């Protein structure tokens, strides 16, 4: 009976961890479990009057709250109250996760469970891809993965990159052999998904961690420089056209976005107006093939600037900068690796526009802040 009561008290946290496991597998189940977990967590927090989670994460919560308040005020002014409330669940509600998810980050086991839960989810997805490929008699393409699991390859690649960076940085949870095997499996699946930005991010991550671990002197710096030059030559010889073709349609979108950003750089056009503004721009310059696709900017930095202007851009990035200033040296190395991969993926995708992305970023933001708080206490 005591065990049942213990698990009932932990029901919110169990749902939360399950939502992370399901993030790469089923976005519908993951989002529903996350909603249930947050609801249970809020009820439990109010019932027990336990608000230590707010004090523990206060600086990052306050910075995120300033951003949320800003976009709400902006939305009310630009769209008017009627349109604001009509579109609230789609255009504004997703950002509330940055104010609600910290409720789980006062538990000491969270720093162990978040990366492990994501690792279980990603490995399960990879296993299911192999099983389905065997049963269907044909190896799954990334398009088939999107159709079956409703998961875009860019977001799976993002999760894999986070796990690679985690495994290359952590010193306690895995033995060296286990790390090598896991990293090899993850890299193989990363190549399978053929995300060009993820491949670039992987190379940069490996060079970054190599530079840290080798404790570079002049000779090692020269060796690393030679390796970088060789990679650049190989890229320019074999992959340059592939990457140029991939960026072609994005560059056309970016040109339109930049033009509108320059017309209203300070405050932006609001969270609900990205698609309408881009479609208008595509129509005016003759990009008629984009009109039916309702595309976003495919660049998170441009999306922030287009929607929220420089004011919102500074506010939304301030928690990431705050953590850089707070983390100690060993953790800073892992966190900077995370920022490298996040920058690479944000350059070609508007990650906050999907549940797959905004939940992951919120998870990892508070994960690293939680680690930095633990390090300060120790």
What does the DSSP assignment read for 159-195? HHHHHHHHHHH-SSSS-HHHHHHHHHHHHHHHHHHT-
Q: For 27-38, b where at least 16 C-beta lie within 10 A, e where not — what string?
A: beebbebbebbb
User: What is the rounded CA–CA span in Å between residue 99 and residue 101?
Assistant: 6
Q: Where does the pLDDT of residue 330 fall: very low under 50, low under 70, confident under 90, or very high at 90 and above?
A: confident
What does the DSSP assignment read for 33-54? HHHHHHHHHHHHHHHHT--HHH
**Structural domain includes residue 100:** no
Report the Cα 264 to chain-centroid distance in Å. Answer: 27
**Structural domain includes residue 24:** no
H/E run at residue 229: helix 218-234
Reference 169, options 20, 340, 317; nearest CA is 340
**Structural domain includes residue 73:** no
Q: 342 or 193: whose pLDDT is higher?
A: 342
The answer for 309, left when phi > 0, alpha when psi is -120 to 50, beta otherwise, is: left
Tokens encoding 292: 């039916």
- Taken in order 85, 88, 92, 93, is the CA torsion positive or negative? positive
Q: Residue 1 pLDDT > 60, yes or no?
A: no
Q: Where does the pLDDT of residue 248 fall: very low under 50, low under 70, confident under 90, or very high at 90 and above?
A: confident
Predicted pLDDT of residue 7: 55
The highest-confidence range among 22-26, 215-219, 283-287, 309-313, by mean pLDDT, is 309-313
User: What is the rounded CA–CA span in Å between residue 288 and residue 285?
Assistant: 8
Q: State the average pLDDT over residues 7-21.
A: 84
For 240, 251, 347, the CA distances from 247, given in Å and listed in that order, are 11, 6, 11
pLDDT tens digits, one per residue of 155-201: 999 999 999 999 988 766 677 788 888 888 888 888 888 777 888 88
Q: Where does the pLDDT of residue 16 fall: very low under 50, low under 70, confident under 90, or very high at 90 and above?
A: very high
Predicted pLDDT of residue 163: 94
Q: Residue 225 pLDDT > 80, yes or no?
A: no
Q: Which domain holds residue 294?
A: 111-377
Tokens 């509330």 sit at which residue? Answer: 96
Q: State the average pLDDT over residues 140-168.
A: 86
**Structural domain includes residue 298:** yes
Reference 279, options 310, 246, 257; nearest CA is 257
Q: State the average pLDDT over residues 280-309.
A: 83
Q: Could you give the number of structural domains in the chain?
A: 1
Cβ(16)–Cβ(66) below 8 Å = no
Which of these ranges, 178-192, 255-269, 346-360, has the smallest mean pLDDT? Answer: 178-192
Which of these ranges, 183-187, 265-269, 299-303, has the smallest mean pLDDT? Answer: 183-187
**Structural domain includes residue 370:** yes
**Structural domain includes residue 169:** yes
Q: Where does the pLDDT of residue 232 fall: very low under 50, low under 70, confident under 90, or very high at 90 and above?
A: low
Q: 112 or 92: whose pLDDT is higher?
A: 92
**Structural domain includes residue 64:** no
- Taken in order 197, 201, 202, 207, is the CA torsion positive or negative? positive
Q: Residue 329 pLDDT > 80, yes or no?
A: no
Q: Residue 8 pLDDT > 60, yes or no?
A: no
Tokens 């698990």 sit at which residue? Answer: 7
**Structural domain includes residue 318:** yes
């Amino acid at each position: 009976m005591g065990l049942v009561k213990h698990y009932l008290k932990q029901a919110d946290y169990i749902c939360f961890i399950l939502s992370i496991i399901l993030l790469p597998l089923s976005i519908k189940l993951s989002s529903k479990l996350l909603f249930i977990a947050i609801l249970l967590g809020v009820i439990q927090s109010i019932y027990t009057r336990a608000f230590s989670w707010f004090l523990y994460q206060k600086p990052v919560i306050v910075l995120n709250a300033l951003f949320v308040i800003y976009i709400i005020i902006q939305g009310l002014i630009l769209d008017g109250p009627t349109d604001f409330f009509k579109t609230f669940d789609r255009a504004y509600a997703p950002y509330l996760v940055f104010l609600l998810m910290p409720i789980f980050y006062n538990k000491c086991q969270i720093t162990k469970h978040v990366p492990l839960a994501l690792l279980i989810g990603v490995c399960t997805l990879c296993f299911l891809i192999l099983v389905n490929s065997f049963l269907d008699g044909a190896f799954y393409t990334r398009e088939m993965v999107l159709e079956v699991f409703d998961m875009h390859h860019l977001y799976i690649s993002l999760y894999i990159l986070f796990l690679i960076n985690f495994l290359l940085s952590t010193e306690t949870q895995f033995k060296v052999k286990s790390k090598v095997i896991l990293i090899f499996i993850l890299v193989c699946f990363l190549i399978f998904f053929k995300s060009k930005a993820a491949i670039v991010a992987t190379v940069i991550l490996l060079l970054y961690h190599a530079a840290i671990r080798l404790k570079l002197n002049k000779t090692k710096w020269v060796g690393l420089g030679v390796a970088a030059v060789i990679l650049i030559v190989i890229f320019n010889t074999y992959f340059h056209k592939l990457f140029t073709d991939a960026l072609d349609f994005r560059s056309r979108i970016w040109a339109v976005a930049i033009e509108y950003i320059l017309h209203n750089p300070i405050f932006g056009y609001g969270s609900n107006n990205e698609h309408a503004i881009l479609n208008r721009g595509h129509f005016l310059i003759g990009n008629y093939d984009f009109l039916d696709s309702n595309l976003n900017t495919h660049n998170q930095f441009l999306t922030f600037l287009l929607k929220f202007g420089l004011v919102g851009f500074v506010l939304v990035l301030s928690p990431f900068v705050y953590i850089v200033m707070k983390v100690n040296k060993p953790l800073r190395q892992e966190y900077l690796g995370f920022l490298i991969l996040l920058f690479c993926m944000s350059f070609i995708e508007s990650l906050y526009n999907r549940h797959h992305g905004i939940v992951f970023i919120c998870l990892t933001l508070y994960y690293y802040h939680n680690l930095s708080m633990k390090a300060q206490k120790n």
